Amino acid sequence: MTISSSLNASVAGLNANATRLATISDNISNSSTFGYRRAEADFHSMVISGQGSGGYSAGGVRVSAMRMIDERGPLVSTSNPTDISIDGRGMFAVTEITAVNEADGNYPLRLMTTGSFRADADGILRTETGMVLMGWPANSDGTIPTYSRDTAAGLSPVRVNINQFSGDPTTEMTLGVNLPATWTMAGANGTTQDLSIEYFGNLGTSEVMDVTFTPIVPATGSSNQWTMTVRDSASGGATIGQYTLNFNAGRGTGGTLASVTTISGGAYDVATGEIALTVGGGPMKLNIGVPGKSSGMTQLSDSFAPGQISKNGSPVANLTSVEVDGKGMLNAIYDEGFTRTIYQIPVIDVPNINGLIALNDQTYQVSRDSGPFFLWNAGEGPTGSVVGFSREESATDVAAELTQLIQTQRAYSSNAKVIQTVDEMLQETTNIKR
């Protein structure tokens, strides 16, 4: 019985080391595979109970193999902006291109830690193996709606139309103009000054805001007051705001705004220096400066000088590329220089990351052992941030695997030697009677 148990234990040892050899060969063969997680074989002893009278029966060994998903490889830089990795323990969501092509809205959830995504003929960001990047679609203004964090129902395949056009309407404008102080003195001729400023409408059209400054000339002394009238071409040239600008004349604050009185149109905010105008395409903030500050509107010297005039917005632009930032925001970049968020790439985490089911192409599936998933904002919680222009290398250490290969070979040979010894002992037992 004892000799037979030795034979069985050694056979179990051969099987266990063969399994370990399989994991080592898998690791070495994938040493250059981006995102690969090494497999590891773990041995467990088996003890035969109920032994007595000094006898002993060998129980042998069992083996279990698992994927070390929590071990990460180093990140390397690439030239593709949609080569994406996670700088942490989180993963991003993908689905299969076949599910997207079926167009039934059912996208089986898969997880990846790194991927090289490029737009196909339909603009879908996918890998060469057919894994499609999933994200939360943004609103038309670039804001992200509120989505559920414990379900993948809000995720959609990321689609980028490289040839699409987009308008960037003007919503903010800053006006910094110096008005001649001598023009508000008694005896001045009351000449007005006109200023035309181009801005862009909701359809990318060029519109004009005409601003007229009229000095208030007193009978004696100096009024230090101007009437500012704002007209909008998109509103048919109608007046959309009229204001009285009062300037300081004292030492230290001379020439700065003292107050703004609204005659018609949107109100002036003292705290921000903004006037809430309404142009033909919607609201617009016109910043003329805060009272007492030298920025914005001033009244100095005897010259009319438009100093600082700036605005946001641009004409119709072509989308040229997309990039992802550390917070997982996928931004469309247009040739006019502005960007717009089109998707948010959430980062997924599970309680037991090594409990995920490993699938082909370095993808994983949630299981009972992994626990339920949760969708985090990148850079928040335990998940880490999203890194564009990068790939994650294999977690395999070839030197360590080769060392284990030598150990496995010796252990396998030793188990084979035990089987050979048991065979010789059984042969000797058989030869007792001749």
How far apart CA 345 and CA 384 sit, in angstroms, is 12
- The answer to whether the beta carbons of residues 19 and 41 sit under 8 Å apart is yes
**Residue, of 406 and 204, whose pLDDT is higher:** 406
- The answer to whether the beta carbons of residues 256 and 273 sit under 8 Å apart is no
Residue 269 reports pLDDT greater than 60 = yes
CA atoms within 13 A on the CB side of 11: 8
pLDDT exceeding 90 applies to what percent of the chain? 72
- Mean pLDDT to the nearest integer, 4-22: 89
- Mean pLDDT to the nearest integer, 336-341: 82
pLDDT band with cut points at 50, 70 and 90 for residue 163? low
Helix (H, G, I), strand (E, B) or coil at 163: coil
- Mean pLDDT to the nearest integer, 70-95: 94
**pLDDT confidence of residue 302:** 84
**pLDDT confidence of residue 252:** 85
> CB neighbours of 312 closer than 8 A, spacing ≥ 6?
168, 170, 171, 172, 173, 338
**Residue, of 431 and 268, whose pLDDT is higher:** 268
pLDDT band with cut points at 50, 70 and 90 for residue 338? confident
**pLDDT confidence of residue 270:** 95
Q: Could you tell me whether strands 131-137 and 339-344 are parallel, antiparallel, or unpaired per DSSP bridges?
A: antiparallel
Q: Which of 98-102, 184-188, 325-329, 427-431 has the lowest mean pLDDT?
A: 427-431
pLDDT band with cut points at 50, 70 and 90 for residue 50? low
pLDDT band with cut points at 50, 70 and 90 for residue 53? low
Residue 52 reports pLDDT greater than 80 = no
Residue 56 reports pLDDT greater than 80 = no
Sole residue written with tokens 């080391």: 17
Helix (H, G, I), strand (E, B) or coil at 47: coil
Q: Tell me the fold of 170-312.
A: Tick-borne Encephalitis virus Glycoprotein; domain 1 (2.60.98)
Q: Which of 270-279, 327-336, 371-380 has the lowest mean pLDDT?
A: 327-336
Name the nearest CA neighbour of 83 among 395, 318, 333, 321: 321
Residue 1 reports pLDDT greater than 60 = no
Sole residue written with tokens 């993908």: 94
The tokens describing 61, both together, are 């060994």
- Mean pLDDT to the nearest integer, 161-176: 82
pTM: 0.72
**pLDDT confidence of residue 59:** 75
How far apart CA 68 and CA 26 sit, in angstroms, is 13
**pLDDT confidence of residue 132:** 97
- Mean pLDDT to the nearest integer, 68-97: 94
pLDDT band with cut points at 50, 70 and 90 for residue 3? confident
Name the nearest CA neighbour of 149 among 343, 348, 380: 348
**pLDDT confidence of residue 243:** 97
Residue 86 reports pLDDT greater than 90 = yes
- Mean pLDDT to the nearest integer, 389-405: 95
**Residue, of 91 and 335, whose pLDDT is higher:** 91
3, amino acid identity? I
Residue 55 reports pLDDT greater than 80 = no
Helix (H, G, I), strand (E, B) or coil at 101: helix
Residue 165 reports pLDDT greater than 80 = no
Helix (H, G, I), strand (E, B) or coil at 26: helix
**Residue, of 422 and 170, whose pLDDT is higher:** 170
Residue spans per domain, the chain: 2-71+395-430, 79-164+318-392, 170-312
pLDDT in tens, 342-392: 999 999 999 999 999 999 999 999 999 999 999 999 998 889 999 999 999
- Mean pLDDT to the nearest integer, 205-212: 94
- The answer to whether the beta carbons of residues 90 and 326 sit under 8 Å apart is no
**pLDDT confidence of residue 422:** 83
Average pLDDT, the chain: 91
Residue 220 reports pLDDT greater than 60 = yes
Residue 51 reports pLDDT greater than 60 = no
Residue 149 reports pLDDT greater than 70 = yes
**pLDDT confidence of residue 73:** 93
pLDDT exceeding 70 applies to what percent of the chain? 97
Chain Cα centroid distance, residue 65? 34
- Mean pLDDT to the nearest integer, 112-129: 94
